[in-house]
Structure 1
Amino acid sequence: MEDVNAPHSMGTTIIGVTYDGGVVLGADSRTSTGMYVANRASDKITQLTDNVYVCRSGSAADSQVVSDYVRYFLHQHTIQLGQPATVKVASNLIRLLSYSNKNMLETGLIVGGWDKYEGGKIYSVPLGGTLLEQPFAIGGSGSSYLYGFFDQAWKEGMNKDEAEKLVVKAVSLAIARDGASGGVVRTVIINSEGVTRNFYPGDELPLWNEELEPCSSLLDILSSTGPEPMSI
């Protein structure tokens, strides 16, 4: 029998992409406890400051507590300096917490944001606490299906719309192949003009090979594929 008291983990697809002028972050919304979907519409893109967000994967509890600590420290940092923290400062704080507690934490994070010094930046902090600056980063269980796709599809100098379409397409591909990813797609666009959040319902995502059309219930599938029920 499935243990519903098992720790909630996020079999996940998270993505961060830089473009010419900013960054786009994207994630699916399925949080699971083993084979049980604990939350089908969770928000895995968490605000750290006005200009920096983080995508969370791995243990939901671990990623949330790291985000909460970093948000608190960055708030103090902003008050002391009188200006917003940079993306690099936020990423280094996450790296410090992740590395210092690497034996206890099971979380991989992607930090993305914009600041006036370096523009749009993406940093990956995988399991163990390494800090990697990358033009694009992918993480979670769905990422293993996407490396070849990103090698082919990502390019320098993309505009905002191209970058967001790439992120939505990549998350929908991972949802199609990875049983631990699913639900809706959320994106966050960060640039010099501010932050834009977008939401793409699951029934509006493109369907890939052998995927079924979305249905309201199992009865809809049975009635469309199976014989008529026997009348008594």
Structure 2
Amino acid sequence: MEDLGLNAPHSMGTTIIGVTYKDGVILGADSRTSTGVYVANRASDKITQLTDNVYVCRSGSAADSQIVSDYVRYFLHQHTIQLGQPATVKVAANLVRLLAYGNKDTLQTGMIVGGWDKYEGGKIYGIPLGGTIIEQPFSIGGSGSSYLYGFLDQAWKDGMSKDEAEELVKKAVSLAIARDGASGGVVRTVIINEEGVTRNFYPGDQLPLWHEELEPQNSLLDIWGAAAASPVPMTE
């Protein structure tokens, strides 16, 4: 029997993105988690809260990214109690970086930390595999990111409104889903600014279709039934 890798570790072949806009940041991600070629969870949440004002997008090994997030959330809680005020985005990102770099030989995860604080406003930090930390106006990660660099270089602009930035995030993730077999499912976004946090959810059937993508179907039987109902005429 062919080995499909069904006992492999859960891996988030993923598309994650964080962008800054004039009032804050927006994080976005797809929702497919796979083990081998099997989709273990098609609606997972890859955007995790670290503090009231800081979130992290997770890619790579699901177990690795979850344990890093748990440790950082615990450390930030202690930090907030000691200082008597919320941790900054930079502090949160550097804690992620310390754990990622200190365990770079064993962790298989890339993360994007984004949030808002009263000192620096909205900030995005990319922390790819290996534990480097890079402050960027926008950051992308996961297997779907390779399809998006040129698009975001052209489409992102400084001073975007919240609606423009969220539409960009939604479009970018749906474009990656169309090309990357390891990305899929729904699109989740998190908007973080001075007013607080807003989470949005976009089901797959509400995302734009690109190129030769098929319309969403409930099952393969629907596709076969449609094909049988309207056969393609034979030509010589």
Shorter-chain TM-score bucket reads over 0.9
Amino acid aligned to 1:37: V
Shift of 1:5: 1.4
Segments of structure 1 that go 5 or more residues without pairing to the other structure are none
* Cα distance in 1 for residues equivalent to 2:210 and 2:93: 35
Cross-structure match for 2:92? 90
The one of 65, 68, 77 aligned to 1:66: 68
Partners in 2 of 1:198 and 1:19 — Cα distance?
17
Tell me the CA shift for residue 34 of structure 1.
1.4
- From 23, 26, 30, the equivalent of 1:24 is 26
User: Is 1:156 matched up with 2:152?
Assistant: no
Q: Which runs of 4+ in 1 moved over 2 A?
A: none
CA shift digits 1:42-88 (9 cap, x unpaired): 00000000000000000000000000000000000000000000000
When the two structures are aligned, how many residues end up with a matched partner?
Answer: 228
Structure-2 residue corresponding to 1:174:
176
- Alignment partner, residue 75 of structure 1: 77
- SS of 1:225's equivalent in the other structure is helix
Q: Is the 8 A contact 2:5 2:37 kept in 1?
A: no
Aligned-residue offset at 1:4: 1.6
Superposed, 1:81-160 pairs within 5 Å as 81-160=83-162
Gaps of 5+ in 2: 231-236
How far does the alpha carbon of each residue in 1:112-144 deviate from its partner, in whole angstroms, 9 at most, with x for none? 000000000000000000000000000000000
- What per-residue deviation string (whole Å, max 9, x for no partner) do you get for residues 149-193 of structure 1? 001100001010000000000000000000000000000000000
Q: Is the counterpart of residue 197 in structure 1 residue 199 in structure 2?
A: yes
User: Following the alignment from structure 1 to structure 2, what is the Cα–Cα distance between the partners of residues 108 and 3?
Assistant: 22
Q: Distance in 2 between matches of 1:112 and 1:3?
A: 33
Q: Shift of residue 198 of structure 1? A: 0.1
The amino acid that maps onto 1:147 is Y
- Per-residue deviation, 1:2: 1.4
**1:226 Cα deviation after fit:** 2.6
Q: Deviations over 1:90-114 (max 9, x none)?
A: 0000000000000000000000000
Given that 2:76 and 2:87 are in contact with CA atoms closer than 8 Å, whether structure 1 keeps it comes out as yes
Amino acid corresponding to residue 113 of structure 2 in structure 1: V
Q: C-alpha root-mean-square deviation of aligned residues, in Å?
A: 0.8
TM normalised by structure 2 equals 0.95
Q: CA deviation at 1:3?
A: 2.7
Q: What's 1:49 paired with? A: 51
- 3-state secondary structure, aligned to 1:226: helix
SS in 2 for 1:172: helix
Q: CA deviation at 1:227?
A: 5.6
Q: Which amino acid aligns with 1:146?
A: L
| Secondary structure in structure 1 of the residue aligned to 2:172 | helix
- Deviation, 1:225, is 1.1
The amino acid across from 2:132 in the alignment is T
